[in-house]
Amino acid sequence: MPDRGGGPTGPRMRVGRPSRRVRTLLMTLGVLAVLGMAFTMFAGFWTDWLWYRSVRYSSVFTTTLWTKIGLFLVFGLLMALAVGLNVWLAHRLRPPLSAMSMEQQNLDRYRMGIAPYKKWLLLGITALVGLIAGASASGQWRTWLMWVNGVPFGEKDPQFRLDVSFYAFDLPWYRFLLGFGFAAVILSVIAAALTHYLYGGLRVTSPGARATAAATGHLSVLIGVFVALKAVAYWLDRYGLAVKSSDFKATDNWTGLRYVDANAYLPAKTILFCIAVICALLFFATLWRRTWQLPVIGFGLMVLSAILIGGLYPAIVQKFQVQPNEQAKEAPYVQKNLKATREAYGIDDAKVTDYPGTGRTADKAALRDDVEATASIRIMDPNIVSPTFQQLQQIRNYYAFPTNLDVDRYSKDGKDQDTVIGLRELNLNGIPKNNWINDHFRYTHGYGVVAAEGTSADSQGRPVFTESDLPSKGDLPTYEQRIYYGEKTTTYSIVGGPQKEIDYSDDKGEKTTSYRGKSGVDLSNPVNRAAYALAFNEPQILYSGAIGDGSRVLYNRTPKERVEAVAPWLTIDGDAYPAVVDGRIQWIVDAYTTTNGYPYSSRTTLGDTTADSLTATNDNRAVVAQQNQVNYIRNSVKATVDAYTGEVELYQWDTRDPVLKTWMKAFPGTVEPKAEISDSLMAHLRYPQDLFKVQRELLTRYHVEDATTFLSGSEVWQVPDDPTNKTGDAVPPYYLSMRMPDQQSQVFSLTTTFTPNGRDNLSAFMAVDAEAGTEGYGTIRILKLPTNTTVNGPKQVQSQFNSEQDIAETINLLTRGDSNVEYGNLLAVPLDGGLLYVEPVYVRGGGLKYPLLRKVLVTYGGATAFENTLDEALDKVFGAEGPATEPPDEGDTTTPPPPTSDNPTVQEALDDAQEAFEAGQEALRESDWEAYGRAQQDLEEALRRAEEAQSRADRTQDGGGGSPGASS
């Protein structure tokens, strides 16, 4: 056949063209890559669905998923249509082209280049903007659900008289729609302008008119829509003033209208709204007038008005009307803020009473018996004694306790007592050999509760355990001890199949078990196995023989993680705590509903407000916030997670909270009514710490109810830094059973102290009734100390402890060698008009890796004691110890006789103490625990004799005319 290509004849060479086999291979690889990406996406979706179905909250998954898909499709399609329609319209309105200028001749190349691909280019642009807009809109699923399901608050804002739900539920959605509209119009203007320019509708350098009439009309309408949206924005900004934050006086996040807002910004926004509406109409009128002269003038007027009316005029009002008489002008608006903030944070019913700060009873000895009636003073600090639990009750290296233990109430002999409690959870770092089978099949769970009395220690300074050993036994009734879900259980386990699990070990060897719970996802299905092999990046799941019939994978195993997953609209308290309820170990998790749209209520940042010295050293104690800045919060939900089955239950706690009611409408059937809480569970519910920390931070300013006092800033308090460590973070609140002055009996309470802003003396003491199910639950009581007297605050009390000569010498002795002193929680207890401070002191000695209670510091009314036990310290402070040696007659000036062997000097006793201490260190090095115990007893006895000798010497020298405080 003749060569029709016009080229040289002869054999053809296919340079660079791949062979059929290579093309087939490349196509196969491409198809496999697409299938791989598709299955990866499917695996993530499928494993999520299986997990939600396994915990019986599949409705949360489906509601959230369909809401996201709906928002993605609707707003993605709207954006694509808006941009695509304007590009198509600009192309349709293009003028007949003639290459009359260099500009148009240069554009000809681009027009010809894209001509064959115009439809595909249009589809590609619209698809891209649609995908971006849809993805952004899907992230607004919470805003949509709150808007469509919102219920009224039944409260109106003081300025516009609108229900609070408008600001909490409606306004955020309107603002999203407005922002979407602005984005759509701006993109449409850009796309239309580029299209008009490309096809000659707009000209930059060509002679003649710069724009055709069609292009002018098209772009004018778009700009008119933009200005109309700006008018809507001005109108919504009027309502936005009620939830606008600013720095003002004693608070950084002031929210609501001030004088300048109500009298300058609000009228300005209304005027600017009217100007924007007129300006928009002028732009629309270009469809008939075909000129931009009036719209441009109108737009310039709007910009100038925004500067003068919206910026300069309010500044003039602030300068010449507000500042000369600020308190009088701002007081009505401050009063609105005070009322709204106190209501939004649940502190409006806080009872503030004056408290003298100094004891009223002259005879302190008479108060000794009142101490036990006033408070059950906890000397076991749950934030210190975890290593002691670990050392004495770990039993096996593959168990561990959390860094911070918890405080709960348990009944013993018919009387509730404060109890320090922790779970013996799984610790994979301690298993004999780490491999895939051991980590995920053999070692799968912890075992048992360990509990100790909070108010006592044994003779060695160790906790007095009420539940201990392995399996655990003690005062608690029989319960399921296996712990598959806990705070330290962060990896997945595969249970219930052919591979047996290690249950626990005793003297007879290892005991094995197989999980019989219904939680987790079944892995007998090969599709499930493949999905989890991909999700966990562990191919062995696909083919391992350790997986068979009955195998289930457990994951998302921490309590907070599970509650957050099933209720993604809740904010989770940082401290989940365990309790034995009806024969099960239940993790109790407090959860909050929040909003930042409560008018006039000042905002707070949860991450900062809930931080203290514990969260600084333990990330697991941090709050899990859905929105970090809020101005309304309620402890609306109490949740439980079964430590064996992982079952999650959500209970309605605040039955009046409109935010919770809104979410219950959005996710029906997920939250059980409050009446379903059993009495046994109710006995362990408590007032949550993070809510208390938020409230105490607000109460540093909002304890006052008078606008004038608030504006003066004279009554601003602060939460003191923790004096027991050097982190510089706030002191944490403490749970304590105690009686406030107006109470008849002790109540489980959560307590804290306040100091004046910038000072260390005490300004107030705060406690809230923390015992759920009681009539007074949630009642906040604040004891306000007088400002004209000085009462020592926590930092000053700690400094006083450290500066006492006898105490300093004893602590110096305790820290010799490799020993370290650790200060426990500094507890404050109101007593007879004064404040009783108690602080346990722990010692880690030498090779001993855990703290033991060695001393108790007590101070009241200027008297300080540092004794081996709480009772001894209280006896000394309140003068209940033995009578002092009678001083010699005034006329007797003879020198007191030297001490005899029956009356040892301080130095002799300290020498004995040093000898006992060294003997204890030697016993530690040889792991002779019996000898160590004897040495500790000898050390305590020597220190006691040293204190007695010092006391006798002081009394003798005072009676003999010596200088006070001289040592022997």
Closest CA to 438 of 501, 503, 511, 504: 501
How far is the C-alpha of 183 from the C-alpha of 793, rounded, in Å? 55
pLDDT at 884 over 70: no
Q: Where residue 97 falls among pLDDT bands split at 50, 70, 90?
A: low
How far is the C-alpha of 755 from the C-alpha of 858, rounded, in Å? 20
Alpha carbon of residue 202 to chain centroid: 55
The rounded mean pLDDT for the chain is: 86
Mean local confidence (pLDDT), 403-418:
88
- Answer for the pair 376, 455: CB distance below 8 angstroms, yes or no: yes
CA diameter of the chain: 148
The residue type at 758: G
- Answer for the pair 658, 370: CB distance below 8 angstroms, yes or no: no
In SS3 terms, 924-952 reads as HHCCCHHHHHHHHHHHHHHHHHHHHHHHH
Q: Percent of the chain beyond pLDDT 90?
A: 54
Would you state the structure tokens that stand for residue 37, as one six-digit string?
């990406």
Q: Where residue 100 falls among pLDDT bands split at 50, 70, 90?
A: low
Lookup result for tokens 């609140």: 733
pLDDT at 300 over 90: no
A 10 A CB-CB count for 821 gives 17
Would you state the structure tokens that stand for residue 50, as one six-digit string?
């299986």
Mean local confidence (pLDDT), 458-462:
88
Question: What pLDDT is stored for residue 15 in this prediction?
Answer: 47
Please report, for residues 80, 137, 138, 610, 841, the alpha-carbon distance to residue 74 in angstroms, rounded to integers and kept in the order given.
10, 9, 10, 39, 64
How far is the C-alpha of 601 from the C-alpha of 590, rounded, in Å? 23
How far is the C-alpha of 670 from the C-alpha of 64, rounded, in Å? 13
Query: 3-state DSSP call for residue 605?
Result: strand
Alpha carbon of residue 954 to chain centroid: 52
Mean local confidence (pLDDT), 360-366:
77
Q: Where residue 250 falls among pLDDT bands split at 50, 70, 90?
A: low
pLDDT at 1 over 60: no
Query: 3-state DSSP call for residue 674?
Result: helix
Question: What pLDDT is stored for residue 104 in this prediction?
Answer: 65
Residue pLDDT, tens place only, 485-534: 999 999 999 999 899 999 988 777 788 999 998 899 999 889 999 999 99
Mean local confidence (pLDDT), 813-829:
84
Element (H, E) at 852: strand 852-860
Mean local confidence (pLDDT), 645-662:
96
- Of residues 881 and 622, the one with the higher pLDDT is 622
Which stretch, 724-728, 821-825, 949-953, has highest mean pLDDT? 821-825
Query: Angle formed by the axes of helices 526-535 and 20-54, to 10°?
Result: 100
Would you state the structure tokens that stand for residue 131, as one six-digit string?
């995908």
pLDDT at 846 over 70: no
How far is the C-alpha of 36 from the C-alpha of 377, rounded, in Å? 62
Residue pLDDT, tens place only, 755-814: 998 888 999 999 999 999 888 999 999 999 998 888 889 999 988 888 888 888 888 877
Mean local confidence (pLDDT), 365-387:
89
Closest CA to 233 of 302, 174, 161: 174
Write the CB contacts of 47 (distance below 8 Å, at least 6 apart in sequence). 521, 531, 532, 535
Q: Where residue 622 falls among pLDDT bands split at 50, 70, 90?
A: confident
pLDDT at 296 over 50: yes
pLDDT at 542 over 80: yes
Mean local confidence (pLDDT), 24-52:
82
Q: Where residue 209 falls among pLDDT bands split at 50, 70, 90?
A: low
How far is the C-alpha of 688 from the C-alpha of 502, rounded, in Å? 36
- Of residues 101 and 352, the one with the higher pLDDT is 352
Closest CA to 470 of 409, 557, 404, 392: 392
How far is the C-alpha of 465 from the C-alpha of 449, rounded, in Å? 11
Q: Where residue 16 falls among pLDDT bands split at 50, 70, 90?
A: low
Would you state the structure tokens that stand for residue 366, as one six-digit string?
């008479």
Alpha carbon of residue 737 to chain centroid: 25
Which stretch, 104-118, 192-206, 692-706, 885-899, has highest mean pLDDT? 692-706
DSSP classification of residue 207: S
pLDDT at 963 over 60: no
Lookup result for tokens 């040093």: 914
Alpha carbon of residue 923 to chain centroid: 45
Would you state the structure tokens that stand for residue 260, as one six-digit string?
């300048």
Q: Where residue 870 falls among pLDDT bands split at 50, 70, 90?
A: very high
The residue type at 318: Q
Residue pLDDT, tens place only, 112-164: 777 777 888 888 889 999 999 999 999 999 999 999 999 999 999 999 999 99
Q: Where residue 889 falls among pLDDT bands split at 50, 70, 90?
A: very low
pLDDT at 299 over 50: yes
DSSP classification of residue 490: -
